[in-house]
Amino acid sequence: MSTNEDSTTGGPWRGLASVCLAGIIWGTIGPGAQVVHDRSGLSTPTVTAYRAIAAVVVLSLGVVLSGRRAAAGTAALEEWRRVIVVGALTAAFQFLFFVAVVYTGVSITTVVSLGFAPVLLLVLGSVQQRRLPDGSRAFTVVAALLGLLLVTFGGGLNYSTPHPLWGVLAALGSGAAYAFATEIASPLSQRLDTLTMTAATIGVSALVLVPTGLAITGLRGDAFMTSDAFSWLVIGYLGVFTLAIAYALLFTGLRSTPSSAAVIATLLEPVTAVLIAVTLLGERLSVAGMVGSLLIVAAITSLGRTSEKPTPQ
Protein backbone atom coordinates (compact mmCIF):
# COMPACT_ATOMS: atom_id res chain seq x y z
CA MET A 1 0.00 0.00 0.00
CA SER A 2 1.34 3.45 -0.84
CA THR A 3 0.02 6.83 0.12
CA ASN A 4 3.06 8.88 -0.91
CA GLU A 5 1.27 11.75 -2.57
CA ASP A 6 4.31 13.97 -2.09
CA SER A 7 7.02 11.48 -2.96
CA THR A 8 7.53 12.83 -6.44
CA THR A 9 7.78 16.50 -5.63
CA GLY A 10 10.94 18.47 -4.94
CA GLY A 11 13.46 16.02 -6.37
CA PRO A 12 16.61 14.84 -4.57
CA TRP A 13 17.41 18.24 -3.10
CA ARG A 14 14.15 18.40 -1.16
CA GLY A 15 14.65 14.90 0.20
CA LEU A 16 18.26 15.66 1.06
CA ALA A 17 17.22 18.84 2.86
CA SER A 18 14.71 16.83 4.91
CA VAL A 19 17.38 14.32 5.96
CA CYS A 20 19.86 17.11 6.73
CA LEU A 21 17.31 18.80 8.98
CA ALA A 22 16.86 15.49 10.82
CA GLY A 23 20.63 15.35 11.37
CA ILE A 24 20.68 18.91 12.69
CA ILE A 25 17.87 18.14 15.14
CA TRP A 26 19.68 14.99 16.30
CA GLY A 27 22.68 17.15 17.06
CA THR A 28 20.74 18.63 19.98
CA ILE A 29 20.25 15.26 21.71
CA GLY A 30 23.60 15.22 23.51
CA PRO A 31 23.44 18.80 24.84
CA GLY A 32 19.78 18.30 25.81
CA ALA A 33 20.43 15.06 27.67
CA GLN A 34 23.41 16.70 29.42
CA VAL A 35 21.22 19.59 30.58
CA VAL A 36 18.67 17.14 32.00
CA HIS A 37 21.37 15.14 33.79
CA ASP A 38 23.01 18.24 35.26
CA ARG A 39 19.74 19.69 36.53
CA SER A 40 17.92 16.55 37.64
CA GLY A 41 20.43 13.72 37.94
CA LEU A 42 18.35 11.49 35.68
CA SER A 43 20.54 9.01 33.83
CA THR A 44 20.68 8.52 30.07
CA PRO A 45 18.64 5.24 30.11
CA THR A 46 15.92 6.99 32.11
CA VAL A 47 15.83 9.97 29.76
CA THR A 48 15.79 7.59 26.77
CA ALA A 49 12.74 5.79 28.15
CA TYR A 50 10.80 8.98 28.89
CA ARG A 51 11.83 10.43 25.52
CA ALA A 52 10.34 7.40 23.78
CA ILE A 53 7.11 7.74 25.77
CA ALA A 54 6.79 11.42 24.79
CA ALA A 55 7.32 10.54 21.12
CA VAL A 56 4.68 7.80 21.17
CA VAL A 57 2.17 10.12 22.87
CA VAL A 58 2.55 12.93 20.32
CA LEU A 59 2.55 10.53 17.34
CA SER A 60 -0.55 8.75 18.64
CA LEU A 61 -2.29 12.09 19.05
CA GLY A 62 -1.29 12.98 15.51
CA VAL A 63 -2.83 9.79 14.14
CA VAL A 64 -6.04 10.24 16.13
CA LEU A 65 -6.49 13.95 15.40
CA SER A 66 -5.84 13.42 11.68
CA GLY A 67 -8.76 10.99 11.59
CA ARG A 68 -6.56 8.29 10.07
CA ARG A 69 -6.40 5.83 12.93
CA ALA A 70 -8.12 2.99 11.06
CA ALA A 71 -6.32 3.64 7.78
CA ALA A 72 -2.94 3.97 9.50
CA GLY A 73 -3.49 0.76 11.47
CA THR A 74 -4.46 -1.16 8.33
CA ALA A 75 -1.49 0.17 6.37
CA ALA A 76 0.97 -0.64 9.15
CA LEU A 77 -0.41 -4.16 9.51
CA GLU A 78 0.04 -4.79 5.79
CA GLU A 79 3.77 -4.00 6.20
CA TRP A 80 4.13 -5.35 9.73
CA ARG A 81 7.33 -7.30 9.06
CA ARG A 82 9.29 -4.29 7.81
CA VAL A 83 7.73 -2.05 10.47
CA ILE A 84 8.90 -4.37 13.26
CA VAL A 85 12.38 -4.74 11.77
CA VAL A 86 12.88 -0.98 11.28
CA GLY A 87 11.52 -0.25 14.77
CA ALA A 88 13.68 -2.91 16.43
CA LEU A 89 16.81 -1.78 14.56
CA THR A 90 16.12 1.84 15.50
CA ALA A 91 15.90 0.81 19.16
CA ALA A 92 19.10 -1.24 18.82
CA PHE A 93 20.90 1.71 17.26
CA GLN A 94 19.99 4.01 20.13
CA PHE A 95 20.61 1.45 22.89
CA LEU A 96 24.00 0.30 21.55
CA PHE A 97 25.04 3.92 21.02
CA PHE A 98 24.34 4.57 24.71
CA VAL A 99 26.35 1.47 25.72
CA ALA A 100 29.24 2.59 23.54
CA VAL A 101 29.23 6.07 25.08
CA VAL A 102 29.40 4.56 28.58
CA TYR A 103 32.36 2.30 27.72
CA THR A 104 34.25 4.38 25.18
CA GLY A 105 33.11 7.99 25.32
CA VAL A 106 31.20 10.21 22.92
CA SER A 107 34.04 11.00 20.50
CA ILE A 108 35.03 7.45 19.55
CA THR A 109 31.41 6.30 19.60
CA THR A 110 30.37 9.04 17.19
CA VAL A 111 33.19 8.30 14.75
CA VAL A 112 32.77 4.51 14.80
CA SER A 113 28.97 4.38 14.81
CA LEU A 114 28.12 7.18 12.37
CA GLY A 115 31.22 6.53 10.28
CA PHE A 116 30.65 2.78 9.94
CA ALA A 117 27.09 3.18 8.59
CA PRO A 118 27.93 4.82 5.22
CA VAL A 119 30.94 2.54 4.71
CA LEU A 120 28.80 -0.54 5.36
CA LEU A 121 26.11 0.59 2.91
CA LEU A 122 28.77 1.43 0.31
CA VAL A 123 30.24 -2.07 0.60
CA LEU A 124 26.83 -3.78 0.58
CA GLY A 125 25.80 -1.78 -2.48
CA SER A 126 28.96 -2.82 -4.29
CA VAL A 127 28.39 -6.47 -3.40
CA GLN A 128 24.78 -6.36 -4.60
CA GLN A 129 25.76 -4.68 -7.86
CA ARG A 130 28.86 -6.88 -8.21
CA ARG A 131 31.11 -3.95 -9.03
CA LEU A 132 33.34 -1.46 -7.29
CA PRO A 133 31.70 1.81 -6.16
CA ASP A 134 32.06 4.70 -8.59
CA GLY A 135 34.75 7.23 -7.84
CA SER A 136 32.43 10.11 -6.94
CA ARG A 137 30.51 8.05 -4.38
CA ALA A 138 33.71 6.69 -2.81
CA PHE A 139 35.20 10.19 -2.68
CA THR A 140 32.05 11.53 -0.99
CA VAL A 141 32.20 8.82 1.69
CA VAL A 142 35.92 9.40 2.29
CA ALA A 143 35.44 13.18 2.55
CA ALA A 144 32.52 12.73 4.95
CA LEU A 145 34.48 10.30 7.15
CA LEU A 146 37.53 12.56 7.23
CA GLY A 147 35.31 15.47 8.17
CA LEU A 148 33.68 13.38 10.90
CA LEU A 149 37.09 12.50 12.34
CA LEU A 150 38.19 16.14 12.35
CA VAL A 151 34.93 17.39 13.88
CA THR A 152 34.83 14.74 16.59
CA PHE A 153 38.47 14.78 17.67
CA GLY A 154 39.36 18.32 16.64
CA GLY A 155 36.19 20.11 17.64
CA GLY A 156 37.19 20.72 21.22
CA LEU A 157 35.23 17.81 22.73
CA ASN A 158 37.24 15.71 25.18
CA TYR A 159 35.93 12.49 26.73
CA SER A 160 37.50 9.59 28.60
CA THR A 161 37.63 6.10 27.13
CA PRO A 162 37.55 3.63 30.05
CA HIS A 163 36.74 0.43 28.05
CA PRO A 164 37.62 1.06 24.40
CA LEU A 165 37.24 -2.52 23.09
CA TRP A 166 33.69 -3.09 24.35
CA GLY A 167 32.77 0.44 23.39
CA VAL A 168 34.04 0.05 19.82
CA LEU A 169 32.17 -3.24 19.41
CA ALA A 170 28.95 -1.63 20.68
CA ALA A 171 29.51 1.36 18.38
CA LEU A 172 30.00 -0.95 15.39
CA GLY A 173 26.75 -2.69 16.29
CA SER A 174 25.04 0.69 16.60
CA GLY A 175 26.32 1.80 13.20
CA ALA A 176 25.25 -1.46 11.58
CA ALA A 177 21.77 -1.17 13.12
CA TYR A 178 21.44 2.40 11.84
CA ALA A 179 22.61 1.42 8.35
CA PHE A 180 20.25 -1.56 8.07
CA ALA A 181 17.32 0.39 9.57
CA THR A 182 17.80 3.13 6.97
CA GLU A 183 18.21 0.62 4.15
CA ILE A 184 15.03 -1.27 5.07
CA ALA A 185 13.11 1.92 5.78
CA SER A 186 13.82 3.25 2.28
CA PRO A 187 11.39 0.96 0.36
CA LEU A 188 8.95 1.10 3.26
CA SER A 189 8.81 4.89 2.91
CA GLN A 190 7.52 4.37 -0.64
CA ARG A 191 4.53 2.40 0.65
CA LEU A 192 3.46 4.18 3.84
CA ASP A 193 2.69 7.81 4.50
CA THR A 194 5.08 9.58 6.85
CA LEU A 195 2.80 9.74 9.89
CA THR A 196 1.84 6.07 9.70
CA MET A 197 5.42 4.92 9.21
CA THR A 198 6.83 7.11 11.98
CA ALA A 199 4.12 6.22 14.49
CA ALA A 200 4.39 2.50 13.79
CA THR A 201 8.19 2.18 13.82
CA ILE A 202 8.75 4.50 16.79
CA GLY A 203 5.99 2.61 18.62
CA VAL A 204 7.94 -0.62 18.12
CA SER A 205 11.14 1.10 19.26
CA ALA A 206 9.40 2.33 22.40
CA LEU A 207 8.35 -1.23 23.26
CA VAL A 208 12.08 -2.00 23.47
CA LEU A 209 13.51 1.25 24.84
CA VAL A 210 11.02 1.98 27.62
CA PRO A 211 11.21 -1.30 29.58
CA THR A 212 14.95 -1.61 28.90
CA GLY A 213 15.71 1.93 30.03
CA LEU A 214 13.58 1.69 33.17
CA ALA A 215 15.01 -1.74 34.01
CA ILE A 216 18.57 -0.40 33.77
CA THR A 217 17.54 2.56 35.92
CA GLY A 218 16.21 0.21 38.60
CA LEU A 219 19.20 -2.14 38.50
CA ARG A 220 21.63 0.77 38.86
CA GLY A 221 19.59 2.38 41.62
CA ASP A 222 19.22 5.63 39.69
CA ALA A 223 16.41 8.10 40.23
CA PHE A 224 13.18 7.56 38.29
CA MET A 225 11.69 11.02 38.84
CA THR A 226 12.68 14.65 39.26
CA SER A 227 10.92 17.73 40.56
CA ASP A 228 12.73 19.99 38.08
CA ALA A 229 10.07 21.24 35.65
CA PHE A 230 12.62 22.46 33.09
CA SER A 231 14.11 18.97 32.84
CA TRP A 232 10.67 17.59 31.93
CA LEU A 233 10.33 20.27 29.26
CA VAL A 234 13.67 19.26 27.77
CA ILE A 235 12.67 15.58 27.87
CA GLY A 236 9.48 16.51 26.06
CA TYR A 237 11.53 18.34 23.44
CA LEU A 238 13.82 15.32 23.04
CA GLY A 239 10.84 13.05 22.47
CA VAL A 240 8.78 15.30 20.20
CA PHE A 241 11.56 16.85 18.12
CA THR A 242 14.58 14.53 18.16
CA LEU A 243 12.55 11.33 17.92
CA ALA A 244 9.07 11.90 16.43
CA ILE A 245 9.76 14.85 14.13
CA ALA A 246 13.36 13.96 13.23
CA TYR A 247 12.45 10.43 12.18
CA ALA A 248 9.46 11.76 10.23
CA LEU A 249 11.91 14.00 8.37
CA LEU A 250 14.27 11.07 7.75
CA PHE A 251 11.48 8.85 6.40
CA THR A 252 10.21 11.69 4.20
CA GLY A 253 13.69 12.23 2.81
CA LEU A 254 14.16 8.54 2.07
CA ARG A 255 11.41 8.74 -0.55
CA SER A 256 13.74 10.59 -2.89
CA THR A 257 17.17 10.10 -1.29
CA PRO A 258 19.02 6.75 -1.33
CA SER A 259 19.76 5.29 2.09
CA SER A 260 23.53 5.47 1.42
CA ALA A 261 23.23 9.21 0.86
CA ALA A 262 20.90 9.70 3.83
CA VAL A 263 23.35 8.27 6.35
CA ILE A 264 26.01 10.67 5.08
CA ALA A 265 23.62 13.62 5.29
CA THR A 266 22.85 12.87 8.93
CA LEU A 267 26.55 13.42 9.75
CA LEU A 268 25.39 16.99 10.33
CA GLU A 269 24.53 15.68 13.82
CA PRO A 270 28.09 15.94 15.25
CA VAL A 271 28.61 19.24 13.40
CA THR A 272 25.53 20.64 15.12
CA ALA A 273 26.65 19.29 18.49
CA VAL A 274 30.02 21.02 18.15
CA LEU A 275 28.42 24.30 17.08
CA ILE A 276 26.10 24.19 20.11
CA ALA A 277 29.09 23.57 22.35
CA VAL A 278 30.84 26.58 20.83
CA THR A 279 27.92 29.02 20.81
CA LEU A 280 26.11 28.04 24.02
CA LEU A 281 28.67 26.25 26.20
CA GLY A 282 31.63 28.54 25.57
CA GLU A 283 33.90 25.95 23.95
CA ARG A 284 36.31 26.88 21.17
CA LEU A 285 36.13 25.43 17.67
CA SER A 286 39.59 24.43 16.51
CA VAL A 287 40.85 24.76 12.95
CA ALA A 288 40.50 20.99 12.56
CA GLY A 289 36.89 21.13 13.70
CA MET A 290 36.15 23.95 11.26
CA VAL A 291 37.78 22.11 8.35
CA GLY A 292 35.93 18.92 9.26
CA SER A 293 32.59 20.73 9.32
CA LEU A 294 33.26 22.18 5.88
CA LEU A 295 34.23 18.74 4.53
CA ILE A 296 30.97 17.22 5.78
CA VAL A 297 28.93 20.06 4.28
CA ALA A 298 30.82 19.68 0.97
CA ALA A 299 30.18 15.92 0.95
CA ILE A 300 26.47 16.44 1.61
CA THR A 301 26.26 19.10 -1.11
CA SER A 302 27.72 16.66 -3.63
CA LEU A 303 24.99 14.15 -2.78
CA GLY A 304 22.27 16.35 -4.28
CA ARG A 305 24.00 16.16 -7.67
CA THR A 306 24.62 12.41 -7.66
CA SER A 307 21.62 10.93 -5.81
CA GLU A 308 18.95 9.08 -7.71
CA LYS A 309 15.46 8.51 -6.42
CA PRO A 310 15.27 5.07 -4.80
CA THR A 311 13.19 2.49 -6.60
CA PRO A 312 10.30 0.95 -4.63
CA GLN A 313 10.94 -2.68 -3.74
Contact 261, 304 (CB under 8 A): no
- Min mean pLDDT across 34-38, 216-220, 272-276 is at 272-276
Give the pLDDT of residue 124: 76
Q: pLDDT category, 312, cuts 50, 70, 90?
A: very low
Q: pLDDT category, 6, cuts 50, 70, 90?
A: very low
Contact 180, 89 (CB under 8 A): yes
76-96 pLDDT, tens digit per residue, is 899 999 999 999 999 999 889
Contact 302, 141 (CB under 8 A): no
207-218 pLDDT, tens digit per residue, is 999 999 999 999
Give the pLDDT of residue 55: 97
SS3 assignment, position 79:
coil
236 or 140: which carries more pLDDT confidence?
Answer: 236
The pTM assigned to this predicted structure is 0.83
Rounded Cα gap, residues 178 and 248, in angstroms: 15
- Give percent above pLDDT 90 in the chain: 36
Long-range contacts of residues 308-312, Cβ cutoff 8 Å, at least 24 apart:
308/12, 308/258, 309/11, 309/12, 309/15, 309/255, 309/256, 309/257, 310/186, 310/187, 310/190, 310/254, 310/255, 310/256, 310/257, 310/258, 310/259, 312/2, 312/187, 312/190, 312/191
Backbone torsions φ then ψ of 21, nearest 5 degrees: -65, -35
Give the pLDDT of residue 120: 79
Q: Kindly list the domain boundaries of the chain, sorted by start residue.
A: 11-44+96-194+219-306
For the segment 266-286, the average pLDDT, to the nearest whole number, is 72
Rounded Cα gap, residues 4 and 2, in angstroms: 6
Backbone torsions φ then ψ of 105, nearest 5 degrees: 105, 165
Rounded Cα gap, residues 248 and 270, in angstroms: 20
Residue 313 reports pLDDT greater than 80:
no
Give the pLDDT of residue 9: 42
- Min mean pLDDT across 22-31, 51-60, 186-195 is at 22-31
For the segment 106-131, the average pLDDT, to the nearest whole number, is 73
